[in-house]
Amino acid sequence: MTTRLMAEGLFEGVDPPRLVGARCSGCHTVVFPRQDSCPRCADGTMSAHVLPVRGLVWSWTLQAFPPKPPYRPPSGGFQPYHVGYVDLGEVLVEARLEVPLREIRIGLPVRLTTMPAYHDEDGTEVLTFAFRQDPEEDR
Amino acid sequence: MTRARSDEVYVVGCGMHPFGRDETVTGMAMAERAVREALADAGVGWEDIGYAAGGSDVSGKPDTLVGRLGLTGVPFVNVQNGCATGASTVLAVANALRAGEASLGLAVGFDKHERGAFNVSAARYGLGDWYAESGMMLTTQFFALKTRRYLHEHGISERALAMVAARAFRNGAQHPMAWRRKPLTEQEILDSAEVSPPLTQYMFCSPGQGAAALVLALGDRAFDLCERPVRLASLALRSRRFGSFEVFSPWLPPGPHRSPSVDAAEAVFRRAGLRPADVRVAQLQDTDSGSELIHLAETGLCGHGEQEELLAAGDTDATGRIPVNTDGGCLAGGEPVGASGLRQFHEVVRQLQGRAPGAQVPGAPQVGFTHVYGAPGISACAVLTA
Ligand SMILES: [Zn+2]
């Protein structure tokens, strides 16, 4: 089965992919995804910046009902899923959380992963980014 | 800030079409009814209005109302400013009156939305398709994520969210123009359908329909027309600054996250020369229970983390120390975007005049407050005095 990443501009590398944002040379603000101008200051220039892979759950919720299109459900149909912000230190990133309900909490150590989002019409599996519990951090 | 009475702007009449859902009436027809009611309340005719502003998100061009009300040649400004639409129409009219354009003006807001959540497009928000396709572009998620973090940071329990909604429905049950008019217990609210925890179905407002209108008058004209004119002490509209936590944000800076509500509230109290502690009736944006909790503190009506105690003590009830959303707010009224802000003015004006349609705050309240907040990070606040 062939796979592809959901949107090329969000990632750097493939094995494993890392998230790439941008960092301002003036005020050091980190944004995700990349953008060409700084939302905070006028003088900085933005350059590509690979984000840390480890972070802590900053907030979370459950998507309990199927979203309307343009949401694309997985091939097996909609299943409720967790969403949250992950604190990566220099920036908080919103992401799907592949963490079961019994484990999920603010402050939980997580690390970057990919997960199947949906399938293209030709059967290609489309991957999006997510965070899962960090086994190295978990005691 | 003190102004000469001749430069003060007063509300001298208000009107409202009931909120809710009624397939037999259009947005424009609701607006016409609200305007006619406001004119009658002020004891003036449409031909007396020297300046008008109107707002609607989805229900047509407000200035076409002149075709229904009368082709008097009146300057009529259209406003489309999200949740701040109503406040922006009041601001436009008040500024025009003070600038000498007219001595009598009218502000009207109306909307009629489809059932269910507002439709969104990633491109319209400057975002890639991936954001919506991967299931992260939902307003309900945003409110839930913001609420959960807030409860965590300030040690507030999820029951406080149910207390907010229970009070809204209790007030709505007494208000003849509210949509949801059945009281619900905290347990019923907690047990309602899961949407995005910690928020359940009955902790969210629904897009509905409605209209509201105000007649505003300058200086002495107000006292000629009205026995109890309500003074617009101050009104401020603010957009977001860096670091505010807004809907549809794939990233946030690490913090602190300062909301435009804080800026707008600080500005109106400063300009009015009053403090949040002076407020005896407040209308706060309650798109969901969590939003109202957060806005109570962001506007300065209480400290961060004090909300649960306030709610449990009944302090935000109509008979309490700081009555909040005495007409049931968005939770009981629904949120027709263009009308919602003017509904708040309508309620506060009627409270300060001692003729609230629903639960009247006892003891002749002298200071009222309104607050709206919404995408893409805007807030408007007003202080009104009896
Ligand atoms: Zn910068």
Q: Using one digit for the tens of pLDDT, what is the confidence trace for B192-231?
A: 999 999 999 999 999 899 999 999 999 999 999 999 999 9
What is the predicted pLDDT for the residue at B117? 59
For residue B172, pLDDT beyond 70: yes
A125-133 and A109-119 strand pairing: antiparallel
pLDDT > 90: what percent of chain B? 94
- Rounded to the nearest angstrom, the minimum Cα separation between A72 and chain B is 5
pLDDT above 70 covers what percent of chain B? 98
CB contact (8 A) between residue A6 and residue B133: yes
Q: Which CA distances in Å does B139 have to A87, B119, B121, B199, B281?
A: 21, 10, 12, 12, 28
pLDDT above 50 for B108? yes
Inter-CA distances, B272 with B3, B10, B277, B365, B372, Å: 10, 14, 13, 16, 18
CATH 3.10.620.30 fits B5-115+210-225, yes or no: no
Nearest to B251 among A31, A63, A106 (CB): A31
At A139 the pLDDT is 46
| Closest CA of chain A from B14, distance in Å | 38
pLDDT exceeds cutoff 90 at B282: yes
For residue B54, the tally of other CB atoms under 10 A from its CB is: 31
Residues paired with A57 in a beta bridge: A86
Is B30 in contact with B110 (CB distance < 8 Å)? yes
> Per-residue pLDDT tens for B10-51?
999 999 999 999 999 999 999 999 999 999 999 999 999 999
- Mean pLDDT along residues A47-69: 97
Distance A33 CA to ligand 1 centre (A): 15
Look at residue B142 and tell me whether its pLDDT is greater than 80. yes
Identify the band that residue B2 occupies on the pLDDT scale cut at 50, 70 and 90.
low
B135 and A81 in contact by Cβ < 8 A? yes
Instruction: Give the start-to-end residue ranges of the domains of chain B.
Output: 5-115+210-225, 136-205+232-385
State the ipTM, two decimals: 0.96
Which whole number is the average pLDDT over B88-93?
98
Q: State the CATH class of domain B136-205+232-385.
A: alpha beta
Q: Is the dihedral of CA B359, B356, B97, B17 positive or negative?
A: positive
Would the CB atoms of B134 and A128 count as touching at under 8 Å? yes
| Confidence (pLDDT) at B89 | 98
**pLDDT band (50, 70, 90) for residue B115:** confident
- pTM beyond 0.90: the answer is yes
B116 pLDDT higher than 70: no
For chain B, the average pLDDT equals: 96
Average pLDDT rounded to a whole number, residues A100-119: 97
Fold: same for B5-115+210-225 and B136-205+232-385: yes
Taking contacts as CB-CB distances below 8 angstroms, the residues of chain B near A118 are: 133
A28, pLDDT greater than 90: yes
At residue B119, the pLDDT reads 63
Structure tokens at B50: 């020297």
Measured in angstroms, how far is the CA atom of residue A51 from the centroid of ligand 1? 17
Q: Is the pLDDT of residue B305 over 90?
A: yes
Q: Chain B interface, mutation test: which of A27, A29, A92, most B Cβ atoms within 10 Å?
A: A92
What is the token pair recorded at B113?
């939305």
What is the structure's pLDDT at A81? 98
Q: How many domains does chain A have?
A: 1
Domain of A95, in residue numbers: 3-137
3-state secondary structure B259-294: CHHHHHHHHHHHHHCCCHHHCCEEECCCCEHHHHHH
Could you tell me if A92 lies within 8 Å of chain B, comparing CB atoms?
yes
What is the per-residue pLDDT for A125? 95
Token reading at A38: 């700084």
Show the tokens assigned to B249.
Answer: 């944000």
- B47-75 per-position pLDDT tens digit: 999 999 999 999 999 999 999 999 999 99
